[in-house]
A and B are shown apart, each in its own frame.
Chain A
Amino acid sequence: MTPLLQISGVWQRFGGLIANSDVSIDVGRGEIVGLIGPNGAGKSTLFNLIAGVTPPTQGSIRFDGEDVTALPAAQRCQRGIARTFQVVKSFETMSVIDNVIVGALVRSTTMREARGKAWEVLEFAGLAARAEVLAADLIPSEKRRLEVARALATAPKLLLLDEVLTGLTPVEAEKGVELVRRVRDAGVTVLMVEHVMEIVMPLVDRAIVLDLGKVLVEGKPADIVRHPKVISAYLGDRHAVVA
């Protein structure tokens, strides 16, 4: 079976800056894949390429056996790619349930159906008690959860999580990890950008390390954390030698 997401030879240039160079990644069905790397490694750029915010300068992106390189974001969502944003982008003047309904509309023919789905997703994400609250009135961890719920409401095959666990308290992060696991158990493939190694590593099946816009290494989390290249990218060459 072909991988769900196939990125081959993707480059992204912003003027003179090369944010991604020759990135090739496969994500298989049902995996949780972590995309990690130091600041400025090109993680968010790669995410935007997959979500369709900008087309790549070069290279191709195939999703579910179809070339989606030229498709804009909305159409990729219709194909089954959903995302969250690193800086949360809730619909602030709308209630929590209404936020999720917007997502649910993609796969619904009637409002009744969309509303029903939205409630189900809110239950799943543990936000049902806050359904009638304005998104603007949520606390930060709830806003992150809403981002995930809204994306899930589009019934995606691939969920892109952009630093959803960063900046949470340990208890909140633990709940977040549990939510991601349940998402995967529900049959959704997850690709997540994360900064905090100790949270991501136990969660993911596979990790891909980006550095300076290139894939540095990829493999099992346990191997990644000990890899000299990874340590030198994060901490500098001196520590790599010591390790």
Chain B
Amino acid sequence: MDQSFALRRRRDLIMACCLAGTAALLPLVVKDVYVQNILVLTLMYAALSQSWNILSGYCGQISLGHALYFGLGAYTTALLFTKFGVLPWFGMIGGGLLSAVLAMALGYPCFRLRGHYFVIATIVIAETALLLFQNWEWAGAALGIDIPVRHDSWLTFQFTRSKLPFFYFALGLAAVAWLVTFWLEDSRWGYWWRAVKDNPDAAESLGVVVFHSKMGAAAVSAFLTAVGGGFYAQFVSYIDPESVMAFQFSLLMALPAVVGGIGTLWGPLLGAVILIPLKELTSSFIGGSGRGVDLIVYGTLIVLISLARPEGLVSLFARRRKAPAR
């Protein structure tokens, strides 16, 4: 009986290795810089959405304020590098730790809120942070920070001639986010989170400290999101508050998971592979005049999926359960 569980886990792991291997070979075929750019973004959003999924999918605390952690990661990396000469690698880790601590500090009051009220709080906090950064002179205020590009190097994580290093880093990031989720899924935290999402009262009665569980999920989720933000800062080499902390980033992290399958291992990746290229292609075909049309396409897709497949597209692949109908 218990073997089926072990088999399922092994199958997931093998599939992930195959996918990662295939993805690693993609640059051999894809030479076009524009397409490579889309690949980088897709992998980055897969990683971000996977991180978002830990707090919002598994633990059920829907956050629409993850742009805060993304922006914080980007700003920490950029500021440490431009002001103090700290290498982006440490910047990413530092931004991650800072975000994890901030997530717990914010979680302390916010995790007392349930349902919609929690969602509203996350939006408001992220928007407040956006305003603060727009007015913070030392951090470049609304003008942002230009990260000076010296020369291509893995040490400073800057590459001007090729997108490939970014591609491989993004692939690594997506792989790490997936592995962390994979590992957490079969840990006590994973079980606690799902229990907290389904029924906090019952979870508490079974010895799960609901508050601590949420704090743990928030910290891991924020850390990974901020590392993604640090990467993005290096990738675009210029950041301002609007371009890393705007509300749309919170949506772009949430939507792949929702479309693919919220609270599932594969949902965020599947969602990102579908949504991100679609978004990039529509916004570039329609061009500057049609700003917002990509969001219309997005919205339509979400309405369709929530009508036809509320569990997410991943459920198309799920093996049929032999359970009888209710």
A151 with B206: in contact, given A93-B263, A137-B323 (CB under 8 Å)? yes
Chain A CB within 8 A of B12 CB: no
- Whether A111 lies near B2 (C-beta < 8 A) is no
- Whether B207 lies near A91 (C-beta < 8 A) is no
Residues of A within 8 A of B321 (CB): 132-134, 137
* Contact stretch, chosen from A56-64, A74-82, A231-239: A74-82
Determine which of B194, B207, B210, B325 lies in contact with A78 in the assembled complex, contact meaning CB atoms within 8 Å. B207
- Whether A77 lies near B205 (C-beta < 8 A) is yes
Secondary structure type dominating chain A contacts: helix
Determine which of A77, A89, A106, A115 lies in contact with B199 in the assembled complex, contact meaning CB atoms within 8 Å. A89
Determine which of B191, B263, B323 lies in contact with A105 in the assembled complex, contact meaning CB atoms within 8 Å. B191
CB proximity to B under 8 Å, residues A67-102? 72-75, 77-78, 82-83, 85, 89-94, 98, 101-102
- Whether A82 lies near B323 (C-beta < 8 A) is no
Chain B CB within 8 A of A164 CB: no
CB proximity to A under 8 Å, residues B300-326? 321-326
Nearest chain-B residue to A93 (Cβ)?
B198
- Whether B210 lies near A114 (C-beta < 8 A) is no
The number of chain B residues touching the other chain, given as a range, is 20 to 34
- Whether B199 lies near A90 (C-beta < 8 A) is yes
- Whether A102 lies near B195 (C-beta < 8 A) is yes
Q: A90 to B186, alpha carbons, bound, how many Å?
A: 19
Residues of A within 8 A of B322 (CB): 132-133
A74 with B198: in contact, given A111-B186, A133-B323 (CB under 8 Å)? no
Chain B CB within 8 A of A128 CB: yes
Binding site for B on A (CB under 8 A): 51, 53, 72-75, 77-78, 82-83, 85, 89-94, 98, 101-103, 105-106, 111, 114-115, 119, 128, 131-134, 136-137, 150-151, 153-154
Binding site for A on B (CB under 8 A): 1-2, 4-5, 186-188, 191-192, 194-195, 197-199, 201-210, 263, 321-326
